[in-house]
Amino acid sequence: MAWTSHANSIDPNMSQTPGKPPLTLDVLRILADWAASCAERSLPIFESESPLDLRPQEALVSTRIFAQGGPRTAHLRQVAWASLAASKETVHPAASAAARAAGLAAATAYTHPIASSHQVNHIVSPIAYSAHAIALQAGTQSAAIPEIEWAIQHVPGEVRQLVRHLPARRPGKGPLAYLCAQIEASLRSP
């Protein structure tokens, strides 16, 4: 799909400065839907540790509503922050990562149309945290591999195209940085 194929749905609040990657509301919806699909895979980890805390689930429901054409409202930002707060309130590392994945999936709706490697973090982090949650729950980092493979098999072409228009992330340290780098490399590959 051509990068400008969604030109009729450009959000007037998003800058479309020449030389910067054009990012439409349609592409944000596609990105949010994919991120939610990935984050949902680790949500049961959080739910088993904190069954009464619905904040990550609410973040994913709101993300789906946005992805299906709902407005990008302050509520979506609030549920993203609430899910991130839930991630800090649990003592279980895998549950924390799963809640963070849900919050970051909701936050993809606020990815900016600027040529910045930081925007790549917004795209890959929900997937990385979900895979990390599953790896922590399994007790082995290798458990993240099938999750990343699943995410890459289900990534929409528009998300790949978006990542390819953005500068590469800087290398980081630790398992999450490694997962982010793996996801980014897979998204950039032909």
Residue type, 120: V
What are the boundaries of each domain within the chain? Answer: 22-188
CA–centroid distance for 17 within its chain: 24
Phi, psi values for residue 146, rounded to 5°: -60, -30
pLDDT tens series, the chain, 190 aa? 222 223 223 333 333 333 466 589 999 999 999 999 999 999 999 999 999 999 999 999 999 999 999 999 999 999 999 999 999 999 999 999 999 999 999 999 999 888 888 899 999 999 999 999 999 999 999 999 999 999 999 999 999 999 998 999 888 899 999 999 999 999 998 8
Say what angle helices 157-164 and 25-40 make with each other, to 10 degrees.
Answer: 110
Q: How far apart are the first and last CA of the chain?
A: 14
Is-contact 8 170, C-beta < 8 A?
no
The answer for residues whose C-beta is within 8 angstroms of residue 85's C-beta and 6 or more apart is: 55
